[in-house]
Structure 1
Amino acid sequence: MGQSIVREAGLRKLKLMAASGFKALPGFGVTGKVNGRSVALGKAKFMKDEGVDVSSLLERVDEMSRQGKTPMILCVDNKAAGIIAAADTLKPNTKSAIARLQGLGLDVVMLTGDNPYTAQAVAGELGIKTVFSEVLPGGKADEVKKLMDQGRFVAMVGDGVNDAPALARAHIGIALASGTDIAMEASDITLMTSDMRAVVDAIELSRMTMRKIKQNLFWAFFYNSLGIPIAAGILYPFSGILLKPLFAAAAMSLSSVSVVTNSLLLKRFKPSQQ
């Protein structure tokens, strides 16, 4: 978000001054000093808690929130000075990725620190029914734990510093390529792309892998339950058939080849399309 603000300032040819005493308050905002003056930027609630009168801006803040934007109040020397609003642009493939996840029978839940209006606007566009808004960084991990306590198997997808605790808490943490180092370290899986479709591809591939494992175990058990008794001579008293060591070795090799060949079929994996 900071990069977006700096980029917009550049487009407007505004002079950027160095800040000192910078402090980030995850989930609330940032503070610092610019040109000797105290500056703070963050949520309206954060400003209220700091004793700043933002009543004159609240109507505009609510209006921006209903438009799906995330408004932040700028305060200079403990006085409200203006509003900066940012809006997330959904990636073209995100909606189809969410639809594919739901098609796999998964419940998709959105955890966000944004206000309820912005959260509902984004969730509505993506087709997500369950939304938790205004969630603080530590709160995301708490929400994940609540879902786990309900007996659900939870996979968390995130890329920011604020997502790290939840990524570590979930059964499976999945970090995107655009993620911070902390998010990647806290996750179990790091994807090589920021495309949400890769999350679905990874789940589909993992499911196919489990099917192959079960198939291989079944055929190995079935093959050996027949082959070992025959090799031990169970048929000899009835038919005089006795498996020679050479044929037994060949049969065992054939068993291994069939299992490996079945596993190699994973290379032909193709993700589903929505």
Structure 2
Amino acid sequence: MAGHSQFKNIMHRKGAQDARRARQFAKLIREITVSARQGLPDPAANPRLRAACAAARQANMPRDTIERAIKKASGGGSGDDFAEVRYEGYGPSGIAIIVEALTDNRNRTASDIRAAFSKHGGALGESNSVAFLFGRLGVVRYPADAASADDMLEAAIEAGADDVESGADGHEITCAVDAFFAVRDALEQKFGEPETAKLDWRPSTSIALGEDAARAVLKLIDALDDSDDVQNVYANFEIPEPVMQALSA
């Protein structure tokens, strides 16, 4: 199980699901707010806002909550002024970690993230200290029943995608960053709204972890993800299935 797909499983293992759901909604609303303020408040004319709304619907956020967030963001009031910040560092066992945040207080966020790294056996690094270990790409996912593997591959290639992986879990289409919106929009016209569509960091190589190391890394990932300012966490580790089963026992 790779690091970039790890976190949904972590969520299912943890307790206090109501609190986590509330944090997830707060992060989604923050992304909707930033997206609406940086572009038009109409999802049809704002690709980033459209992606944020799709992610919110995927998380079962009520439609009126999404609409209120857009309306508030486009109201022109003072509100919170969020900045996009990326942090990089190393975790236990030399795991490389990228943290994406939206914050209205850079000093607070940097302090919280530095403390999380330090408390859980890691170290916050300088900008671009680990980014070279990852590739930036666009990722679009559809459920398996959205299309046959051949139809999805044909449509993705025609749209300008680089690769398609199809299986029982669904279709994953990857593309260059500068082709992301064109690929997503072309596929959406043909197959409807995707399950997810976002820019992602993928590690060029991954480190396989044993049980003790995996437990330490997951504690750090959880601590980072618990921050209200943190939107996404990426890491270059893999947890073999027997180790994951032991951790879940």
Give the TM-score of the pair, scaled to structure 2: 0.23
Higher strand fraction: Structure 1 or Structure 2? Answer: 2
Give the TM-score of the pair, scaled to structure 1: 0.22
Q: Which has the larger radius of gyration?
A: 1
Higher normalized contact order (CA 8 Å, seq sep 6+, divided by chain length): 2
